[in-house]
Structure 1
């Protein structure tokens, strides 16, 4: 392929990626605004917000397992909250894993969407995570969420392989963008703008010897999450070039 054709192909891919991220960002910010307040609660978009909670809690669980602890159960609630019951493990690693892990997975999904093979791998790993969490879920909302997204991703994947409706990459990208944006937003809302004494950051501040309160840790975690978001966009453009 001549150099000019290769450059045009790269520019096209980068353009599609930038436009997709921009559109997804506008949609996510628009539906999460307070006007009108009911828009974000639509049947179509609420499951995707709950998936960000799912990845947050799954990150807690994964950190627990990686530090030799036991995961007793996971819950995701309709009010967009969640809880992970753990026993053992390294507590000071488990606590920040929710917010930082969520932003990390958002970055992984964004980068995976740049290539069809990596998109398939990301979708497959996500399906596996949904199946695993299905068996440790402690409430029916989380079980329903897992089953619903297993069916949804299976249908999208089937359409990808058998028809001209090839949207698997955009679904993975949308989940990645939403997760990255809301990990930053949730850190600000939960840890910085208001001080909740039961938050992960406040608990982390109690056990960390560094003289920093929960708000301070919220700022640090927020900056790390924002770096993940910016890095994912930059690296994706580099890959597509």
Structure 2
């Protein structure tokens, strides 16, 4: 990553939005667990941009890739939702509802603070949208969606391809999946899928706006 972009990426102002991406990553693990009849015992998001979802039961081979791929999917969904005011309102409402639900399973104060902060932030933006001439709800949803998509692709590259963290979801997936791919191979595959989500969201967004 070029130095100027690297400095921008590491700026403090982007930290809450990167943490909300980590939240969506962990929430995707949780959703996959629930959909495969497992139980979510807790979710944590850490200030160092890490996170963990504690689950019991469920289909492990679905839960593991759901983090990165689910995060990419939510990024695409938010980008597309931002193309219309009505869908942006729906996305904002669903986002607030999800943050409220997660408050009951959050296991650390970083995640609780993140949820409360974004509930207030989005609520304020929504009130400004409805009661004043500051109409920025669509752009906020768009920004969160783009950040989520970009950070998901970057996170896959950083965790699964360039550094190959041995405790990563891809390494664990390679252990439970009877396929010839190792963790690096699954990292590449997941990275390509995430990048495809990003490209699809940009293309579809332009089609809707045209």
Q: Shorter-chain TM-score category?
A: over 0.9
2:139 equivalent in structure 1? 170
Shift of the alpha carbon at 1:48?
Answer: 0.7
CA distance in 1, matches of 2:91, 2:27: 15
CA distance in 1, matches of 2:142, 2:60: 31
1:40 equivalent in structure 2? 10
Q: Give 4+ residue runs of structure 1 displaced > 3 Å after superposition.
A: 29-32
2:85 equivalent in structure 1? 116
1:74 aligns with 2:43: yes
Alignment RMSD: 1.4
1:87 equivalent in structure 2? 56
CA distance in 1, matches of 2:168, 2:143: 27
CA distance in 2, matches of 1:100, 1:218: 11
Partner SS for 2:52: strand
Alignment of 1:86-235 (within 5 A): 86-235=55-204
CA distance in 2, matches of 1:238, 1:112: 13
CA displacement 1:51-104 (0-9 Å, x = unmatched)? 010000000000001111100000000100000000001000000000000000
Number of residues paired by the alignment?
209
Query: Normalized against structure 1, the TM-score is what?
Result: 0.84
Shift of the alpha carbon at 1:196?
Answer: 1.4
CA distance in 1, matches of 2:186, 2:54: 22
Q: Which has the larger radius of gyration?
A: 1
User: Which residues of structure 1 form unaligned runs of 5+?
Assistant: 1-28
Partner SS for 2:181: coil
